[in-house]
Amino acid sequence: MKTDLSRRRWLYGGVAVVAAGAGVGGAWLKHDANAASTAGSVDEGDPAFWSRSFTRPEGGELKLADLRGKPLLVNFWATWCPPCVEELPMVDRFFRDHATSGWQVIGLAIDQPSSVRKFLEKTPVSFPVGLAGLEGTELVKQLGNTGGGLPFTLVVQADGKVAARKMGKLEPADLEAWRRAYVHG
């Protein structure tokens, strides 16, 4: 009985040490990835970034050159991606709340045009959306998301430097931290 209790304590202690080590290692990797994600500019990641344009779901073109010179949040998403769909209303709210303080927001849909149009009829957004299609997958890879996963968000400062990258669903704290760090207002 006493031996079983001692073994159990060693087992729990060992599990706790492994979990703590994994937590520290994960925090270190996250810190390292965040530090690396702020390096470079969109021009370095994709020299043709500002020359790109995308068809808009409602017609017309979304020209990235027209957005140069102000802080820009680029959200890559798809209708088939649940976290993308969940975060779109929050991104739209951010756009509506902060456009007057200089923020620009665009969504680039990596999806079929018909699916995007149908989705936006039911769930409209205020910010401009471009139809990136398969080209969008290559673009996210060039901009630092080597796995090509969605959602993927990029913050570009007015000078073209990449301020932040986030692979995965955005949280309100992400948007607030970026707002405070890159545009005061």
Domain segments of the chain as ranges = 1-37, 40-182
Contacts of 105 (CB under 8 A, 6+ apart): 72, 73, 75, 91, 94, 95, 99, 127, 128
Mean pLDDT of 137-162: 94
At 44-91, the pLDDT tens digits run 767 789 999 999 999 999 999 999 999 999 999 999 999 999 999 999
Token output for 54: 């995308």
Homologous superfamily in CATH for domain 40-182: Glutaredoxin (3.40.30.10)
- Using DSSP's 3-state secondary structure scheme, residue 88 falls into helix
Task: Say if residue 38's pLDDT is above 50.
Answer: no
